[in-house]
Amino acid sequence: MNDSYLKFVNSPFGARLARSLGLPKPEVLRRYRADRPEFEGLVAIGAGREPRLLDALANLIASIGVTSVAHESAGLWVPLANRHGLMTGRFEPAESGSQGKLAALLFDASGIEDSSQLAPLHGFFHDTLRSLGRCGRIVVLGRPPEACASPRQWTAQRALEGFTRSLGKEARRGITANLVYVAQGAEGSVEATLRFFLSPRSAYVSGQVVRIDTGGATAPTSSAFDWSQPLAGRRAVVTGAARGIGASIASVLAAEGAHVIGIDIPSARDALDATMRQLNGTALAFDIAAPEAPAQIAAALDEQGVDIVVHNAGITKDKTIAKVAEAAWQSVIDINLSAQERIDDALLAAGILRDGGRIVGVSSISGIAGNLGQTNYAASKAGVIGRVQSMAPQLRARGITINAVAPGFIETQMTAKIPLTLREAGRRMNSMSQGGQPVDVAQTIAWLAHPGAAGVTGQVVRVCGQSLIGA
């Protein structure tokens, strides 16, 4: 829960010592606070040939109320911004003393159709990266490779992944870099996702690749949202909500306006009650592993229905396969994976999860990369990925999205018990040189639960500060 190194090197004395010894100096990440502006500062715009997303970006810039400057690669930006009634200027390079002046770098790569056309990416980031301030944001926008008309275009768009991930690894200073692929026709559905990636809400999300498609049958238009209370009137179920990451998820969803129904095991009833009381939520004490639980949960939710289901409850029983007993091994699969399947199926079959709903499963980096002593846990968390990939097409007609978040090293009571050396390695082996906070997972889930994220489905988003570890 407590990264004392992070605090130390950000104290006056510690900073001096770290500098003189060449120690890593993790940045204190700027996180969302309701009492501070979510968006501020200058945003620099760059583009490749024939950019197709500048209109969408102009709408976004207008909506979040920041000022833009155009890099020379984005010659179309100034007249376009003027047509949108936006103040805008031209980017002045770092030599003229603009270090740290920029809050975000946005590059529209959507028109790049061949690997020989990638040079503007170099031009823009070469010129602007040093001017990006601490905890700045980088978003590269492209087209989903697999939907491209030609292999050349697919290849060039796919190359953006290696580029953006490398940028994330060299930017440091709490800067995030993410890649958003916008499908043709989905240009009007980018705002909720771009807001997230530009906001301090995504403080610990970097090196990720997200696709926005045209959304399900019931995708609402951007103008329909109250951006300050996007979940107002929605009912959200969160499993494992008594403590830790689950309580944080419940709290963020409630802050966004949702009525939260927290579920946890009967032995955690007191903590669950206390958490839900604070949020004006509803507490349901059920053991999700029990065979009767799905029907009981469905019955409890039947009358009012539900819009958001977050499968956060999970357990670990770490032992190498040669040592772990079958019952322990199987219980991890059952609680972390099979229970999600049973509960979703019950809620979907009875229509309790409403059309336009949201399902978010909590996976893990272990489910992506595997982990020593976690054959059971990693299998269950890889299964969660299979679940969102397999269910997404089936739920599309009802406008329901299903996605997974995959946390990396998050500071919790669980990680506080990891032996010091391993804990330090987990904390430092990522682009932020620190562990994340439960709220980072919660904010990512709140974005996926947003009514404006209708075009984001079947995806896995890591909340890991761009951990080195992967597959």
Out of 145, 314, 399, 452, which residue is the one contacting a copy of itself (CB under 8 A)?
A: 145
Q: Which of 327, 413, 395, 392 is nearest to 355 (CA)?
A: 395
Q: How far apart are CA 365 and CA 384, in angstroms?
A: 12
Q: How far apart are CA 271 and CA 269, in angstroms?
A: 6
DSSP assignment letter at 93: P
Judged by CB under 8 A, the chain residues 184 through 243 that form the site for a copy of itself are 207
Q: Which stretch binds a copy of itself (CB under 8 A): 196-204, 283-291, 299-307, 315-323?
A: 315-323
Nearer to a copy of itself among residue 180 and residue 254 (C-beta): 180
Instruction: Give me the least distance between CB of 261 and a copy of itself, in Å please.
Output: 24
Instruction: Give me the least distance between CB of 458 and a copy of itself, in Å please.
Output: 11
Cα→Cα distances 30→25, 51, 93, 268, 406, Å: 15, 31, 25, 32, 21
Out of 158, 173, 269, 317, which residue is the one contacting a copy of itself (CB under 8 A)?
A: 158
Q: How far apart are CA 460 and CA 471, in angstroms?
A: 13
DSSP assignment letter at 179: E
Q: Which of 407, 449, 2, 437 is nearest to 208 (CA)?
A: 407
Out of 386, 397, 414, 422, which residue is the one contacting a copy of itself (CB under 8 A)?
A: 386
Number of residues that bind a copy of itself (CB under 8 A): 77
Q: How far apart are CA 395 and CA 213, in angstroms?
A: 14
Contact present, 324 and 284 (Cβ < 8 Å): no
Judged by CB under 8 A, the chain residues 391 through 420 that form the site for a copy of itself are 391, 394
Q: Which residues pair with 309 in a beta bridge?
A: 237, 359
Nearer to a copy of itself among residue 78 and residue 159 (C-beta): 159
Out of 68, 73, 164, 444, which residue is the one contacting a copy of itself (CB under 8 A)?
A: 164
Q: How far apart are CA 89 and CA 306, in angstroms?
A: 46
Out of 380, 430, 437, 459, which residue is the one contacting a copy of itself (CB under 8 A)?
A: 380
Out of 275, 366, 412, 459, which residue is the one contacting a copy of itself (CB under 8 A)?
A: 366
* Residue tagged 């990638």 (tokens): 118
Is 32 an annotated catalytic residue? no
Using CB under 8 A as the binding rule, whether residue 178 contacts a copy of itself is answered as no
Using CB under 8 A as the binding rule, whether residue 326 contacts a copy of itself is answered as yes
- Lateral strand order in the sheet of 67-70: 88-90, 67-70, 42-47, 102-108, 132-142, 176-182, 209-212
* Residue tagged 């007609």 (tokens): 397
Instruction: Give me the least distance between CB of 270 and a copy of itself, in Å please.
Output: 31
Using CB under 8 A as the binding rule, whether residue 315 contacts a copy of itself is answered as no
Quick one: how far is CA 346 from the chain centroid?
27
Site string for a copy of itself, 70-109 (x = CB under 8 A): ----------------------------------------
Instruction: Give me the least distance between CB of 386 and a copy of itself, in Å please.
Output: 2
Judged by CB under 8 A, the chain residues 115 through 144 that form the site for a copy of itself are 115-116, 118-119, 121-123, 125-126, 129-130
Name the phi and psi angles at 436, rounded to 5: -90, 175
Q: Which stretch binds a copy of itself (CB under 8 A): 35-43, 95-103, 244-252, 367-375?
A: 367-375
Cα→Cα distances 169→38, 105, 327, 405, 416, Å: 25, 16, 41, 21, 26
Q: Which stretch binds a copy of itself (CB under 8 A): 195-203, 245-253, 285-293, 382-390?
A: 382-390
68: its two tokens: 């833009």
Q: Which stretch binds a copy of itself (CB under 8 A): 33-41, 46-54, 307-315, 372-380?
A: 372-380
Instruction: Give me the least distance between CB of 164 and a copy of itself, in Å please.
Output: 7
Nearer to a copy of itself among residue 163 and residue 204 (C-beta): 163
Contact present, 407 and 421 (Cβ < 8 Å): no
Out of 3, 38, 55, 334, which residue is the one contacting a copy of itself (CB under 8 A)?
A: 334
Quick one: how far is CA 75 from the chain centroid?
31
Q: Which of 330, 309, 334 is nearest to 321 (CA)?
A: 330
Q: How far apart are CA 190 and CA 126, in angstroms?
A: 26
Using CB under 8 A as the binding rule, whether residue 337 contacts a copy of itself is answered as yes
Using CB under 8 A as the binding rule, whether residue 376 contacts a copy of itself is answered as yes
Please identify which of the residues 5, 181, 204, 377 carries the catalytic annotation: 377
Instruction: Give me the least distance between CB of 315 and a copy of itself, in Å please.
Output: 15
Terminal CA-CA length for the chain: 27
Q: Which stretch binds a copy of itself (CB under 8 A): 21-29, 187-195, 215-223, 331-339?
A: 331-339
Q: What is the set of active-site residues?
A: 377
